[in-house]
A and B are shown apart, each in its own frame.
Chain A
Amino acid sequence: MLDEILTATFITGLLAAAVRMATPILLTALGEIYTELSGILNIGIEGTMLAGCLAGFIGTYYTGSIFCGILWGIITGGLMGLIMGILSITLQANQVACGIILNLLSLGMTSFIFRVVFGVTILPPNIKTLTPLPLPIINKIPFVGQILFQQNLMVYITFLLVLLSSFLIFKTGWGLKIRAVGEYPLAADTMGINVYNIRYICVIAGGMLAGMGGTFLAMDLGMFVDNMIAGRGFIALASVIFGRWKPHGVMAGALIFGLADAFQLRLQALGYNFPHEVLLMLPYVLTIIILTGILGKSHAPAALTQPYIKEK
């Protein structure tokens, strides 16, 4: 078994797949960073991804353009974020309950809409998929080029977003305001910052990124099936904690999850009688270890899950 795994082709293939499989998780987790830093825990990103995934699929199917499909997915994700915002910011409902409801709603609604639009077909409908876009020159670097620079456009955009988010959150005034709102909204309010606006912007932006993450799966496989996200939204939530609310940390988390996922798929493909579920469990075990604080305490936004109520 080992001699088959320890070959250069297997390992580069595995790592390239890990990067690709990490992408939807990473996109969604980046969105969740904004949402959580502003003080809102949106558990509904699993459902948001699923809605984005279906919208992206339908968009591409009817317009024939992957770009349009992704745009549909982003808009749908933004709408899911808006619903979460209305429930948790304006109506001050319990954020955990709202998130669960969004997930359940999306699960039923996507299956329903899919059947209404496409009916029951013998051959599942499909769309064209994202094609790899090797970057000039650097894709020729041995090993690294194959893993990192022969991906599709969405992968590149996602990893650029990691850099951009790091900069935005930790270097700019906007980032400071977002973090202030999630730490101590009353203090931010007395400094003339509009807590509600910032929270709405963050939860909608988070939804848009989750929607985009969802479309990636449809674009990658060229099809849609019921409950296609299969827990990747929850993995994104875990990687936000894993990465301690920092974009590069979250990227590391998403890559570990992607690697585990890619590895178990390949083991299955090789036909070994090895319980691949064990590998799928690994990332979660890691998250539990991190939550116990053995590897040092992390600081969650102090006002996370607390609605802000302004007296008048």
Chain B
Amino acid sequence: MLLEMKNITKHFSGIKANDGIDLCLRKGEIHSLLGENGAGKTTLMNILYGLYEPDQGEIYFKEKPVKIKSPKEAIKLGIGMVHQHFMLIPAFSVLENIVLGSCSFLSFLKLKEIRKKIQDMINIYGFEVELDVPVWQLSVGEQQRIEILKTLYYGAQLLILDEPTAVLTPKETEDFFLIIKSLVHKGHSIIFITHKLKEVMSISHRVTVLRGGKKIETIYTSKTNEFELARLMVGRGITLESKKPSSIGNTVIEVKNLYALDDRNLNILKDINLKIREGEIFGIAGVDGNGQKELAEVITGMRKATGGKIIINNLNVTNLNPGEISMKRVAHIPEDRKNTGAIMNFTIGENAILGHPDFFKDFFLNYTKVKEFSDSLIKNYAIKTAGSNSPAWSLSGGNLQKLIIGRELSEKPLFIVAVHPTRGLDLGAIEYIHKMLIKECEKGVAILLISTDLNEILMLSDTVGVIYKGQIIDQFPAKETSVERIGLLMAGVM
């Protein structure tokens, strides 16, 4: 046994985030830690990494009892962690980021030596990394490799990887798995935190499932399957349903030769053409940063088009402001629900009426009506909250998204722009949101669905378009394609 965690318990203001969890890890093992958001995976790992102190429980590392009070002590023991949000300083070079933890006043005297040591490690592990580039210039996949290199530089034998694939493309994920396998060959052990069942099955030796802060089970992946894992993780059988083909009507929105600039004033959208009809879900697949964010912004009026036309219900709405476009019965489920979708310091009631003009009595807000309306949203969309006076930040990601969707759908839209509607949510919430979108579609609403999750795109869409470098390079009915084909198109290979 390399690591044993016994009976770990941790409270946060009265809530048990970890409740008597046991976990053990062998040398050279890839061990998945599976659970939904809030199941306690990250808390458990933060305890192991010394960021939190447990209320109860013991940790044995290499058969010896240890108390890990800070990341520094964890690093000294040989435990490294790659956080979901990278702990890299964008303004610093790769080299500076790596040496940061070990540098002393006189480090500059030994810089050559340190550089050689890191370069040797890069060669041994076969990473392709340049040391003098500032981190902000690197892709997400490269940044992740630097995070791994950083832990190895500090002598990590046990690597904790917190949702490492959440930000990677299918191709990057493959490369990443190769790296992990080669690490294990060299004698490292890995704890892999995830909620993606496919990845658990394909990469790990054993898996421990957490739910509601408790350990449910530890099993060999060779003796289980995705359905069983899903059941263990969620606590009930869950199957995400695919959309059945619906009756398709007249064109609701048409985008013609659309051009737009990104935040750095470079051409990001180049000649986008698409058409979405009543009852149709048009899914846009693509790697983040290929223009899908800007496309959604231009259509909803948050960004100016530099060329081309957007026609909704035979009206030219190009470059109208977001308010005017929303009046044309366009609903927007934005990418960033915390910054664009809601105001986190407002109450649920206040958030529910954002953009709705009819909650005034003369000059004043009609709070009775606001409460009625927000209570109806809470009830109809099964939003878990203490009440409509709770602040939006008290909601979990899934419940906040339900609130936003509820608010947008209450305007009875003809057209919905949904950007990454289920990103970062747990299975239960994803299932609910998919059902909502399918229901709207069956009512005859046209939906533009932008997502980096290929399975989501394939399950929900009638038509799939692949966006690459600001162009829709191909589009086809969803039934006539496969994940592999779209994956290649997304990477610009086909």
A and B pair up:
yes
Q: Which residues of B contact A179 (CB under 8 A)?
A: 89, 91-92
Asked whether, in the complex, the Cβ of B106 is within 8 Å of the Cβ of A172, the reply is yes
Q: Are B89 and A177 in contact (CB under 8 A)?
A: no
Interface of B is mostly: loop
Contact B108 A192 (CB under 8 A): no
A269 an interface residue at 8 Å Cβ cutoff?
Answer: no
- B71: chain A residues within 8 A (beta carbon): 189-192
Q: List 17 A-B contacts (CB under 8 A).
A: A171-B108, A173-B99, A173-B105, A174-B105, A176-B99, A176-B103, A176-B107, A179-B91, A183-B90, A183-B92, A184-B87, A189-B71, A190-B71, A190-B83, A191-B71, A192-B71, A312-B53
| A151 to B96 CA separation, bound complex (whole angstroms) | 39
Q: With an 8 A cutoff between CB atoms, is A188 at the interface?
A: yes
Contact between chains at B100 and A180 (CB < 8 Å) = yes
Instruction: Determine if B101 is an interface residue (Cβ-Cβ < 8 Å).
Output: yes
Q: Are B81 and A180 in contact (CB under 8 A)?
A: no
Interchain CB contact under 8 A, B101 and A193:
yes
CB of B162, distance to nearest CB on chain A (Å): 12
Q: Contact partner of A172 among B70, B75, B101, B108, CB < 8 A?
A: B108
**Whose C-beta in chain B lies nearest to the C-beta of A186?**
B87
| Interchain CB contact (< 8 A) of B107 among A173, A180, A188, A312 | A173
Smallest beta-carbon distance B466→chain A, Å: 35
Interface residues of B (CB under 8 A from A): 49, 51-53, 70-72, 75, 81, 83, 87-92, 96, 99-101, 103-108
Instruction: List the A side residues contacting B75 at CB < 8 Å.
Output: 192
Closest residue of chain B to A183 (Cβ to Cβ) is B89
Q: Are B52 and A311 in contact (CB under 8 A)?
A: yes
Q: Which 3 A-B pairs have the closest CB atoms?
A: A173-B103, A192-B72, A191-B101
State how many angstroms separate the Cβ of A174 from the closest Cβ of chain B: 5
Give the docked Cα–Cα distance between A171 and B87 (Å): 22
Q: What is the chain A residue whose CB lies nearest that of B101?
A: A191
Q: How far is the CB of B306 from chain A (nearest CB, A)?
A: 23
Binding site for B on A (CB under 8 A): 171-174, 176-177, 179-180, 183-184, 186-193, 299, 302, 311-312
Q: Which residues of B contact A184 (CB under 8 A)?
A: 87-90
> Are A176 and B52 touching (Cβ within 8 A)?
no
User: Are A312 and B92 touching (Cβ within 8 A)?
Assistant: no
By the criterion CB–CB under 8 Å, are A187 and B108 in contact? no
Contact among A171, A190, A311 for B81, CB-based, below 8 A = A190
B53 to chain A: which residues have CB within 8 Å? 312
B201 smallest CB distance to A (angstroms): 30
Residues of A within 8 A of B91 (CB): 179, 183, 299, 302
Given the complex, which residues of A lie within 8 Å of B49, measured CB to CB? 190
Q: Is the CB of A191 within 8 A of B100?
A: yes
Closest chain A CB from B106 CB (angstroms):
7
Given contacts A183-B91, A187-B89, A191-B101, 16 further A-B contacts (CB under 8 A): A172-B103, A173-B104, A173-B106, A176-B100, A180-B100, A183-B90, A187-B88, A190-B49, A191-B100, A192-B71, A192-B72, A192-B75, A193-B100, A302-B91, A311-B51, A312-B53
